[in-house]
Chains A and B, each alone.
Chain A
């Protein structure tokens, strides 16, 4: 019991401290002073774009992992999970040598197509997607595995083509897991720091998302860092509340 209280206090203390130490008297000034609105808008844009890409690519990937029968499937799943366990900075370095201007693929992207990802908002999206996509893949794959195949069989027997069955039966039936996975992905994307700063840099208005802004503000204006942090706390708690028990119900 005592250990449980200690654990709970440990989790809650930093959040409480943020509220206690916030410079409430100069809230407005602090907000404008550190460019909070720019960073917050960029954060929302980057995290939502990363979530959209994760769902668009991650759902087919989850389907392949859940239903495909091919050699190396477990290897592929391990690779998909890797960004979760990998330190984000390492992911950022990896992205740099792969997609950076002189990277393996990045060089070609730049020379042939004129695309540069480093130090651009697109680069921040790429880094964020890399780190957060596994969450929606895993949640959707779990949903697909838990789905009774008889529903899809019945739908096929009722004249549904494979694509029709996927749209009208499979996808709606795994929608709760997919949605929970997407929210987790988005939350992870919102907090992404290491891969983004390593791969995309820290340019205000282009790649400086909220966590990066907090990090920078801490060196110049500790009060401003607290205010920025509080905004992220409010956004995160809102998501938790909006989701209710569904997030915690996810295995």
Chain B
């Protein structure tokens, strides 16, 4: 099953025009800053934007003329949008009952989903008593309850505090992976897009500026925005303590010294994600002196010029992308094939701790 969408809609000053496809069992992230039109696009697919024009096909079957209740789309809205007057269980049973199922059957189905996605939440609880993370889990269960053919998650992590995020991210990854059909993930968080999506559509000001796999976009961002947000260095691996406040992240290719996360007890941790902005990587022609904990050497593979900046891809361990001014690049005579040193400080690295082992990274 595949989703093909071509959408035009005006929202305020922004004209949104986007065409994209999501394949069967493919997670497509719509990544962009706030106001780029991401939510409008997925709400158009769900049939909630009457002013929108365009064509939406599900397996070459048009769904753009159907009213929202007839579209086989399951959507978990930003902030949940759970019905405040209904219990958690009634919320999850809603899509089943709305399609005419009997009360008892729909409740059994809803209970089953809740047990799987939101264990520990009382089915009789009212949504206002839940935390942001719990609401999102219930919203996820509700999105799946109607047995949709397309799954849409709109900013599933934005209303969740940092401590609950890793847990929920792992659940999202499992849920997305288990869903048979195209999946759309709306997010403004590049790490979310890079860790959860198979392909990313970068959306800026209502237009698609780039489409590609996370690796393709990281290695060759086409716009300033993509470079700043998606073009991050991403490290994943096992984190070992080395001294007070510092740890060694052992990736498949090289070791990175990182700050030890305050909220985590000392001990080895699996499946830790870390990001580093390319602008925080400093390049040198000879071995640098200084306080930076991480110093590596590598051959320049590629130099991409983006305005007054040069993005330099290094074949080092771990592989790195550095961003320097075009002036520095010229001065240091950096071009493919040049051998250079790169350094970066441990404190520049952002850690995200994943609590559960996963097989996708």
Interface residues of A (CB under 8 A from B): 150-151, 153-161, 164, 168-169, 172-173, 175
Binds A, one of B25-33, B92-100, B276-284, B302-310: B92-100
Given A150-B77, A164-B98, A168-B94, A157 and B47 contact (CB-CB distance below 8 Å):
yes
Check if A157 sits within 8 Å of B83, measured CB to CB.
no
Restricting to B137-170, which residues have a CB under 8 Å from any CB of A?
142, 145-146
Q: With a CB–CB cut-off of 8 A, which chain B residues contact A155?
A: 83, 94, 98
Q: Once the chains bind, are A157 and B84 in contact (CB under 8 Å)? A: no
| Residue from the list B69, B84, B85, B146 in contact with A156, Cβ < 8 A | B69
Q: Flag B88-131 by CB within 8 Å of A: 1 or 0 each.
A: 00000011001100000000000000000000000000000000
B98 touches A151 (CB 8 A): no
Q: How many A-B residue pairs have CB under 8 A?
A: 56
Find the A residue at minimum CB distance from B94. Answer: A158
Bound-state CA distance A19–B85 (Å) is 43
Give the 7 A-B residue pairs with the shortest CB-CB distance, closest first.
Answer: A160-B98, A158-B95, A159-B98, A156-B68, A154-B81, A159-B99, A157-B46
Q: Which residue of A lies closest to B99 (CB)?
A: A159
Partner of A159, one of B69, B77, B81, B85: B69
Pair A153/B48 contact, Cβ less than 8 Å: yes
Question: Closest residue of chain B to A173, judged by CB?
Answer: B85
B94 near A151 (CB under 8 angstroms)? no
> Which residues of B have CB within 8 Å of A158?
69, 94-95, 98, 142, 145-146
Residue of B nearest to A176 (CB): B85
Asked if B73 is at the interface (CB within 8 A of a chain A CB), the reply is yes
The answer, yes or no, to whether B75 is at the interface (CB within 8 Å) is yes
| Chain B interface residue bracket vs A | 20 to 34
- In the assembled complex, the Cα of A158 lies from the Cα of B85 at a distance in Å of 16
Query: Can you name 30 A-B residue pairings with CB atoms under 8 Å?
Result: A150-B77, A151-B83, A153-B68, A154-B75, A154-B81, A154-B83, A155-B83, A155-B94, A155-B98, A156-B47, A156-B67, A156-B68, A157-B47, A157-B48, A157-B68, A157-B69, A157-B71, A158-B98, A158-B142, A158-B145, A158-B146, A159-B69, A159-B99, A160-B69, A160-B94, A164-B98, A168-B94, A169-B83, A173-B83, A173-B85
Which B positions have Cβ atoms within 8 angstroms of A? 43, 46-48, 67-69, 71, 73, 75, 77, 81, 83-85, 94-95, 98-99, 142, 145-146
Minimum CB–CB distance for B140 against chain A, Å: 13
Decide: B83 and A159 in contact? CB cutoff 8 A: no
Docked-complex contact A159 and B146, CB < 8 angstroms: yes
Q: Report the minimal beta-carbon distance from A247 to chain B, rounded to whole angstroms.
A: 21
Chain A nearest CB from B82 CB (Å) reads 8
Q: How distant is B297 from chain A, measured CB to nearest CB, in Å? A: 54
Measured in the bound complex, the distance between the Cα atoms of B47 and A150 in whole Å is 13
Q: Given the complex of chains A and B, what is the CA–CA distance between A8 and B69 in angstroms?
A: 55
Complex: A172 Cα to B126 Cα, angstroms: 14
How many angstroms from the CA of A154 to the CA of B146 in the assembled complex?
Answer: 13
Q: B66 to chain A: closest CB distance in Å? A: 11
Chain B contacts for A150, CB-based, 8 A:
77, 81
Q: In the assembled complex, how far is the CB of residue B86 from the closest CB belonging to chain A, in whole angstroms?
A: 8
Given A156-B68, A157-B68, are A173 and B84 also a contact pair (CB < 8 Å)? yes
A16 to B71, CA, bound (A): 64
Q: Which residue of A lies closest to B78 (CB)?
A: A150
Are B73 and A157 interface neighbours, CB within 8 A? yes
Specify which chain B residues have a CB less than 8 angstroms from the CB of A173 in the assembled complex: 83-85
Q: How far is the CA of A158 from the CA of B99 in the complex (A)?
A: 9
How many angstroms from the CA of A175 to the CA of B47 in the assembled complex?
Answer: 27
